[in-house]
Amino acid sequence: MDYLIAGIQVGFIYALVSLGIVLVYRATRILNFAHPDFATFGIFIAIDILDKYGDKSAWVYILAGGAGAILSACVSFIIYFFIIYEGQKRGVSPLGLTIVTIGIAYFFQSLEIIIWGADPKAVPHFVSGKFSLMGIELTWHFAVIVVVSLTIMFILYLLIMKTRLGIALRAISQNLDASRTLGINVRFVVGFAFFLSSLASGIAGILIAPVYSVDQFFLFDPFLKAFIGAVIGGLDSPPGAIIGSLIVGITESLFGGYVSIKYKTAFIFFIGLIFLGIRPEGIFGKEIKERV
Amino acid sequence: MISALKKRTVRLKIDYLDDWRIIQDRPAFIFTAVSVLTLFILPAFVSDYIIHILTQVVIYSIAVLGQNILIGYTGLISFGQVGFWGVGAYVLAHSLKLGLIPAIFLAGVTAAVVGAIVGVPSLRLKGPYLAIATLGFSVAFFQLVQNTPAISGGRMGLFIERVWGIDSPYELYCLSLSLCILFYLWGYRIVKSNTGRIFVAIRDSEVAAESLGVDVSRYKILSFMISSFFTGVAGGLYAYFIGYLEPTMFNITESILMFSAIVIGGIGSVFGSALGAAFVIVIQQIFVALKEFIPIVFAIAIVLVMIFEQHGLYGRWIKLKLYFMNFPFR
């Protein structure tokens, strides 16, 4: 039971990260390898803000975390606006732009080492203690993660389905050239998708930071698993990404608990491969058709 | 002067054998002969440190070439190269009793077999999906080595003793260089042959290639095998050259490094691979005092190359050559 709860907890974190992956993938067909690094950058800023304040009340945490997440989102927006869009304008293929994001990821990792050093940092828990719900012992940390992630998912849903910006985003993901012809500012709207995706994963990173030790690679592992979650659910569909990530989180936690903790990452990759073999477009994805 | 320039007319190719020819005309022959001789003779006069770097470049370029055949020619993005590199290294370390050359050969063959297995997902996956799947192989290999003392030699790492007459840096350099030249000739031949053309067809459009009667699955696996054979041999050679192995030498960062070598050198060019390998190794040596800045240099290089010059250093070199060949005009 404990493993199941830990799995759900980590699954929600993966879900937030994979939502970001899916948002960017739908809009640009780029797999953004720099995705975890924008978030990590924000988290380092958040830790710096936390260190400035002596007494760590809840408000300080919310302030620092929010500032870090928004900052990482802004960095992500700027990177798209000035670098990746430049590539798109020159007709670089999505695969080439994926390589560009690998370069950007590499850049941020080393920038973080230069500024903050390579030693892992510990982030104190922002809530502690337990409570029981229907006879199950739960930590407040778990409750905070679930509530915050559900809220963010709901806000993202509203943004994408109900606002003008979200409609423009969906139009771009269906047909880029047509939406450009119809007067959508692609540069700004896709930049906004990058902004949202980094905001979600920045918040995810801050929520999970007390559990891991924070260094410049600490979100890379969640990123890989979130990607596998997105693949299982379907890279085209946000709800699929959430469900796939929950599956990955729970499977990983149960496998780590009952079978072997050493090989859990390898096992998750194995599961992802099997899913890809059975249903390459994912549970909720549309079937992939290819033309010559 | 002008007549000398005029003599160098471009020979038109009339059959496939002409396309296979590496040395097209006399100036190219002189250039190649002089550079190969320089590569062999020069290190006898320079310091051991420079020989060390050169050996590293030479070994690395074999691996980068292997990866380029897979990524640049067949269009299968793989982050599993560091896994093949590691397979080669550990196989050599455990089979050195057989002698150096058989051990290197065995390293390559084992890596090729592993490559054939890792290549199986490539039949269903493409692009970023395949990249992540092969990254999974790298991660799995790293975890396997780290958790199995029988392979990795435990906490202390694995030391490799030099066998067979080759032990001075210069001899080792000559061995690696000979192997490197051999592999480059072979790689060039593969790329220009029927097989290479099929690889390029698969890269450009898998469906079109299949409709023209190409057995896509077979050639994808073949591409994986060739690539991992190259990488495995290079890994084995590198292990022998360094003389010491530990699992952290095979983590994901190393994969990204190898990947940046082909991107910077030029995706889809045989000699670009050597340029990329040289760039990666030499930059590391130049910035050795400022270790933190090395990845930043690579990152900026990757971004600039991908956005502004997609054919990498090799593309630059070709453009430079063309500029001087018809000098007054452009």
Query: For the packed helices B294-308 and A94-116, what is the interaxial angle rounded to 10 degrees?
Result: 160
Residue B199: inside a domain: yes
**Mutation to test the B interface, candidates A92, A93, A95, most B Cβ within 10 Å:** A95
Contacts of A224 in chain B (CB under 8 A): 132, 135-136, 139
Q: What separation in angstroms does the CA of B91 have from each of A245, B86, B115?
A: 37, 8, 14
Determine contact, residues B87/B244, Cβ cutoff 8 Å: no
Q: CA gyration radius for chain A?
A: 19
A104 near B299, Cβ under 8 Å?
Answer: yes
pLDDT at res. B111: 92
Interchain pair B139, A90: CB under 8 A: no
Interchain contact, A103 vs B294, CB within 8 Å: no
B263 interfacial to chain A (CB closer than 8 Å): yes
Confidence at residue B81, expressed as pLDDT on a 0 to 100 scale: 87
Closest CA to B247 of B96, B79, B90: B90
Q: Residue B233 pLDDT more than 90?
A: yes
Angle between helices B81-94 and B252-265 (to 10 degrees): 120
The yes-or-no verdict on residue B226 having pLDDT over 90 is yes
Task: Give the least confident one: A238-247, B53-62, B93-102, B295-304.
Answer: B93-102
State the average pLDDT over residues B26-36: 81
Nearest CA-CA partner of B77 in B253, B224, B246: B224
Q: What is d(CA B202, CA B59) in angstroms, rounded to the nearest whole number?
A: 28
Task: State the total domains in chain B.
Answer: 1
Mean pLDDT for B245-265 is 82
How confident is the model over B245-257, as a mean pLDDT?
79
Q: Which amino acid is at A213?
A: S
Q: Which residues of chain A have pLDDT under 70?
A: 54-56, 127-128, 135, 280, 285-292
**B208:A292 CB<8 A:** yes
Q: Are the beta carbons of B228 and B66 closer than 8 angstroms? A: yes
A vs B, Cβ pairs < 8 A, gives 123
With an 8 Å Cβ cutoff, are A106 and B143 in contact? no
The mean pLDDT value for B3-24 works out to: 63
The mean pLDDT of B275-293, rounded to a whole number, is 84
Tokens representing A105? 């990821």
Residue B113, pLDDT score: 93
Place of tokens 């800045």: B293
How many other β-carbons are positioned within 10 Å of the β-carbon of residue B30? 11
Q: Looking at residue B225, what is its pLDDT?
A: 93
What kind of architecture, by CATH, is found in domain A2-278?
Orthogonal Bundle (1.10)
Best probe of the B interface among A219, A273, A279, A287, by most B CBs < 10 A, is A273
Strands (E), chain B: 158-159, 244-245
Given a cut of 80, is residue B115 above it in pLDDT?
Answer: yes
Tell whether A271 lies on the interface with B, counting CB pairs under 8 A. no
A47 versus B106: the higher-pLDDT residue is: B106
Instruction: Please tell me the pTM assigned to this model.
Output: 0.81
**Beta-bridge mates of residue A137:** A132
CB contact under 8 A, A276 and B121: yes
Q: Which residues of A181-219 are buried (b: 16+ CB within 10 A; e: fewer)?
A: eeebebbebbbbbbbbbbbbbbbbbbbbbbeeebbbbbb
Residue B86 lies in a domain: yes
Of A243, A246, A235, the closest CA to residue A282 belongs to A235
What residue segments make up the domains of chain A, in order of their start? Answer: 2-278
pLDDT digits (tens, 9 = 90+) for A123-145: 777 766 777 777 677 777 888 88
Instruction: Report pLDDT for B1.
Output: 45
Alpha-carbon distance A31 to nearest alpha carbon in chain B (angstroms) = 7
Residue B179 lies in a domain: yes
Task: Give the distance, in angstroms, between the CA of residue A111 and the centroid of all CA atoms in the same chain.
Answer: 20
Q: Which residue has the tokens 């771009």?
A: A172
What is the domain range of residue B219? 47-249
**Distance between A58 CA and the closest CA of chain B, angstroms:** 36
Cα separation, A248 vs A242, in Å, equals: 10
- pLDDT(B326) > 80: no
Q: Are B305 and B263 in contact (CB under 8 A)?
A: yes
Q: What is the mean pLDDT of residues B188-205?
A: 88
- Interatomic CA distance for residues B108 and B214, integer angstroms: 27
* CB spacing of A262 vs B143 below 8 angstroms: yes
Looking at residue B198, its pLDDT comes to: 92
Is residue B161 a part of any domain in this protein?
Answer: yes
Residues A117 and A109: their CA atoms lie apart, in Å, by 11
Pairing label, strands A136-139, B158-159: unpaired
Question: Which residue does chain B place closest to A279, by CA atoms?
Answer: B124
* Chain A: residue whose CA lies nearest to B298: A103
How does residue B11 score in pLDDT terms, banded at 50, 70 and 90?
Answer: low
